[in-house]
Amino acid sequence: MFEAGFFYLFATMAVVGGMGVVLARHTMHSVMFLIFCFFNSAGLFFLLDAEFLGIILILIYVGAVMVLFMFVIMMLEVNQAKLREGFLQYLPMGGMIALILLIEFIGAASSGIFHTDAIAAVGHFGKDVNNTVEIGKILYTQYLLGFEIAAIILLVALVGAIVLTLRTRQDAKYQNISKQVNVRKEDRLRKVRM
């Protein structure tokens, strides 16, 4: 009973958070709603005994990704009135996407694949089954290739982002710390006989 209660609580709050992201007038408030939504999704993971996934969700999304989002948004002066200008123009396109998604979801939900009987573990495992260990084992044996490919894609994206944005400004005066540290007495000091 408790579990169902908490499920409905987290699920409702996650949906409320999601609605808030779209409907909030202020961009900063949208970000806060998104963080709220992530917390509730983490709560859903905890209900499924997937504490590793739940905490990783908070650590990565709330602790790192959203901070950077907020960092960027903080710097922007978003004019809401201007954003709403093309609302009617984009409505058909957006509405169509929403409709297609809705049909997909209804189709998937009614197909019977996502029924509780078909999903293997409905009940809870004992305390000795460690979620983290299980994920680690399966990730580094069965799905090793996919895992490595994902890691390489991330690395490439990382390097690409740095290459695209890195520029050394010629007009700015930088201090090269390792150069400063490596200075010897002989480089700076010259003995002069008087």
21 scored as a contact of other proteins (CB under 8 A): no
Tell me how far, at minimum, the Cβ of 74 lies from other proteins, in Å. 5
Q: Report how far residue 10's alpha carbon sits from residue 147's, in angstroms, rounded to the nearest whole number.
A: 30
The residue behind tokens 């905490």 is 55
Name which position in 16, 132, 139, 158 contacts other proteins (CB under 8 A). Answer: 132
The residue behind tokens 């957006």 is 94
Residue 38's identity, in one-letter code, is: F
* Interior angle at CA 84, CA 81 and CA 87, nearest 5: 160
Q: Report how far residue 178's alpha carbon sits from residue 56's, in angstroms, rounded to the nearest whole number.
A: 36
Q: Report how far residue 73's alpha carbon sits from residue 82's, in angstroms, rounded to the nearest whole number.
A: 16
The residue (of 14 and 38) whose beta carbon lies closer to other proteins is 38
Contact positions with other proteins (CB under 8 A) in 168-187: 174-175, 177
Q: Report how far residue 125's alpha carbon sits from residue 44's, in angstroms, rounded to the nearest whole number.
A: 16
Residue range at the interface with other proteins (CB under 8 A); choices 53-61, 77-85, 106-114, 116-124: 53-61
Q: How many CB atoms lie within 10 A of CB 50?
A: 18
Q: How many CB atoms lie within 10 A of CB 30?
A: 18
The residue (of 4 and 194) whose beta carbon lies closer to other proteins is 4
Tell me how far, at minimum, the Cβ of 76 lies from other proteins, in Å. 11
35 scored as a contact of other proteins (CB under 8 A): yes
The residue (of 14 and 42) whose beta carbon lies closer to other proteins is 42
The residue behind tokens 């984009």 is 90
Q: How many CB atoms lie within 10 A of CB 128?
A: 5
52 scored as a contact of other proteins (CB under 8 A): yes
Tell me how far, at minimum, the Cβ of 39 lies from other proteins, in Å. 10
135 scored as a contact of other proteins (CB under 8 A): no
Name which position in 71, 85, 89, 141 contacts other proteins (CB under 8 A). Answer: 71
56 scored as a contact of other proteins (CB under 8 A): yes
Residues that bind other proteins (CB under 8 A): 28, 32, 35, 51-52, 55-56, 58-59, 62-64, 67-68, 70-71, 74-75, 130-132, 174-175, 177
